[in-house]
Structure formats: C-alpha cells, structure tokens
Amino acid sequence: MKKKINKWLPYIEADLNIADIGLHDKKANKWTHLSIVWHCHQATEKSLKMYVIAQGKELLPIHDLVRLIRYADLKDMDKSQIDFIYSLNKYYITPRYPDLPLAKSYIPADKKIAEYYFNKSKEFFLWIKKIIKTDLK
C-alpha cells in the first residue's frame, strides 16, 4: 500500500512546483494565472486520489473534486477546506479546453487568486499526507 501511495508524490509535487514557478514568472498574465490554478486543481485532485488509495478504495477516473471528497469520505475536513474544494472545482475545465462552450465564460484568475489556490492546495496536500501517516521523503 505504501508503495502505491508514494507513486503519487512526484506528480503532486510537480504540479505544485509548476504552480510555484508560474507565480514567480515576471511575464505571467491572466492565462498563466489560470494555468496555475489548474495545476493547483491537479495537485488537489491527486492528493484526494492518494487518500482514496490509502483507504483501500477503488480509484475513480473522475476529476470532480466535490465528488472525490464525497467518495473519499474525509470526515475531518473543516469548513474552509470544503469551501476551498468547492471553489477550486469551478476552475477545472475552462483553462484546458478553450473550444468548449463553457470555456467562453471562464472564471478569470489573477495573481492574488493563483496565490490563494497555490497556498490552499499545498496546505491540503500536507494535510492529506499527515492523515495517511506515510513517512515520506
């Protein structure tokens, strides 16, 4: 089980690293910030999936964070974490698929929003690691 869980770490850390690099890019624009938020969504999604695997549950091939937290049955989430998941979930599709009708009304992201989601995603990842009690690098 521990080996399966540890496989997720470099992927989560890579998403957080890319988001961090984007936050420090002097040429960053609204599309950069939207991409940062998307990487935060990916890191959070993967953190949830890592938790699901740690619980011995079957991995669902979904990207909806709200469905994932319900499936994961994380009972110790506080209101701020739940609010974070719900708000981050809105950013999933728009920056990745510009031709979809939904993308025409994308939710904008600026540096402040990108920083918020980066910090919350990182906190969430560290919280999940603590919960599953793996001794990670």
Query: The CATH number of the domain where 127 resides is what?
Result: 1.20.120.330
| 137 is a domain residue | no
Residue-number span of the structural domain to which 30 is assigned: 2-132
What would the DSSP string read from start to end of the chain?
Answer: -HHHHHHHHHHHHHHHHHHHHHHT-TT--HHHHHHHHHHHHHHHHHHHHHHHHHTTPPPP----HHHHHHHHT-TT--HHHHHHHHHHHTTSSTTT-TTSGGGGGPPP--HHHHHHHHHHHHHHHHHHHHHHT----
pLDDT tens digit sequence for 2-20 = 888 999 999 999 999 999 9
- For residue range 87-137, list pLDDT tens digits in order: 999 988 644 555 655 555 678 899 999 999 999 999 999 999 999 985 444
Split into its structural domains, the chain has a count of 1
Does some domain include residue 55? yes
